[in-house]
Structure 1
Amino acid sequence: MGSEKKFVQEGINRAQITEYFIKQLDRAGYGGMTISRTPMGTQITVFAEKPGIIIGKGGRTIRKLTSDVAELFNMDNPQIDVQEVKVPELNAQMMATRLANALERGIYFRKAGHNMLRRIMESGALGCEIITSGKFTGSRSRVQKFVAGNILHAGKPAEELVDDGFATAIKKLGTIGCRVRIIPPGVEIPGQFHTTPRTVEEVSTEPEKPAGVVEILDEAKAETTIEEEIIAESPPETVVETPIETTEPEREEVKADLEEEVVVEVPGEADEETRMRGEVLEHKHKEYDYWHPVSRVHKKEAE
């Protein structure tokens, strides 16, 4: 067999195995497969939403699946491994199968397409494209597309970076094909670039000070900060007022000095005595034993 025929036959076998797994593993949530050649045989990795259904009780289902693949597709010692899909919304085959099931249940195609697109983009996909083709309403078939984000259509990146899934919905008017293409998160799309903000250095307008002046200022600042720290750490001083003690004789002398008044005798008439008490002129009659100001008016004796 030539190399071209060999590649064609491998592609046919891959398509037949995929169709077989879609039919057999529909209840398990089939999400695609990978085939790799090893010295021990052919390694087939199946991705599913519910791997327990594929394995079966005691591994009975997966053993039967392995024997059927070896007989139907002439494979030598096939080994099937099952892996769980953590995020079904980022698996194109699972989303295509869910969309086909929704259309078969009678959900309007626009509502089903928009809901599926929103769920895929909310899961973190960089881009998604949903294409449905067939008889939706009326007698003529048409194509309806739902697109969001970035999507690749041509070249090697479109084959390697884009996850592709296809499913068929069978209705009374005919069959409807559902194709879902997803770019998962974390993929570097060719030609994509990112802008980084440029940092502008600020130029100071203050004149530069000599090195010696700067050192002196730094030392002065350091000393002031040290003094402030010492003042802050030291406890506040308490001021105690000590009363001035005075002896008893001193108190009596002060009291006598305060009470002492200046008395100056001034000569007056024969029947009275006169004196200056401070700034007041007083006199005392001989008949009376008390002093009174001279300015006081005397009462006349009754006749």
Structure 2
Amino acid sequence: MGNKINPICFRSKIFQKNYSKWYSSYNYSDFFLIEQNLRNSISKEINNLYISNIYIEISKHFAIITIFSSKPGLIIGKSGEKIISLKKKLKSENKISIYISVKEIINPDIDPTLISKGICFSLEKRLHYKRIINRYLNFASKKFIRGIKIIISGRLNGNDIARKETFKYGKLALGTLSEKINYASSIAKTKYGLIGVKVWLNY
């Protein structure tokens, strides 16, 4: 079971918080399209490398967006110029009032989304994958994480035959609901093709 289901969905009622909060019995499709448009516009306007999660709360007349980032200064900009222009663009596209707040992630080394994005960014820069992953494993061990697992698959180092490699540290019981496990995945677009990265963290 642990290898076949997303750990976040598996623990949604116990630990994990939903990434969106809205409900509509009549205009469900409209709210869904608004959320998708907001997420796509934010990822286009902001450097997605430093964004961990985006929480969106939508009502009939307004939307509250909370962006969790390791470098909030890059999102806000000088004197808040970037965040103001982003708010104006989202408001004009979706015809509702927009409220945006940015929160800083204090420990980006133990965030699975930022880890997977960092690995993909390094792979696109043609760095050796073992050196990259071992560096993140060392960071996690120093932060007193109970366990971490990283799976990377594709044409590693440009080899003709694609393969999958797994790196582990500590304890990671995916089938145990009482374990607080977070998960993320990303894709690196390299010269030789796509390389997938999956990261599990046990806090």
What is the TM-score with the length of structure 2 in the denominator? Answer: 0.71
**1:57 equivalent in structure 2:** 78
**Are 2:118 and 1:98 aligned?**
yes
**1:183 equivalent in structure 2:** 202
Q: Deviations over 1:241-291 (max 9, x none)?
A: xxxxxxxxxxxxxxxxxxxxxxxxxxxxxxxxxxxxxxxxxxxxxxxxxxx
Q: 2:145 & 2:78 partners in 1: Cα distance?
A: 35
Q: Which amino acid aligns with 2:163?
A: R
Q: 2:162 & 2:187 partners in 1: Cα distance?
A: 15
Say which is worse superposed, 61-70 or 171-180, in terms of deviation: 61-70
Aligned-partner SS, 1:148: strand
For the 8 Å contact 1:28–1:53, the answer to whether it is kept is no
| 1:115 CA displacement | 1.8
Q: Judging changes above 3 Å, is the alpha-carbon distance between structure 1 residues 103 and 38 closer, same or farther for their aligned structure 2 residues? A: same
| 1:22 CA displacement | 4.1
**1:112 equivalent in structure 2:** 132
Q: Which amino acid aligns with 2:135?
A: N
Higher strand share: 2
Q: 1:121 & 1:15 partners in 2: Cα distance?
A: 36
Q: Percent identity?
A: 21
Q: 1:179 & 1:115 partners in 2: Cα distance?
A: 16
Larger radius of gyration: 1
| 1:53 CA displacement | 1.7
**Are 2:108 and 1:88 aligned?**
yes
Q: Judging changes above 3 Å, is the alpha-carbon distance between structure 1 residues 82 and 24 closer, same or farther for their aligned structure 2 residues? A: same
**1:173 equivalent in structure 2:** 192
Q: Judging changes above 3 Å, is the alpha-carbon distance between structure 1 residues 16 and 165 closer, same or farther for their aligned structure 2 residues? A: farther
**2:168 equivalent in structure 1:** 147
Q: 2:185 & 2:34 partners in 1: Cα distance?
A: 17
Q: Which amino acid aligns with 1:174?
A: G
For the 8 Å contact 1:34–1:46, the answer to whether it is kept is yes
Alignment length (residue pairs): 179
For the 8 Å contact 1:21–1:30, the answer to whether it is kept is no
What residue ranges of structure 2 are gaps of 5+ in the alignment?
1-23
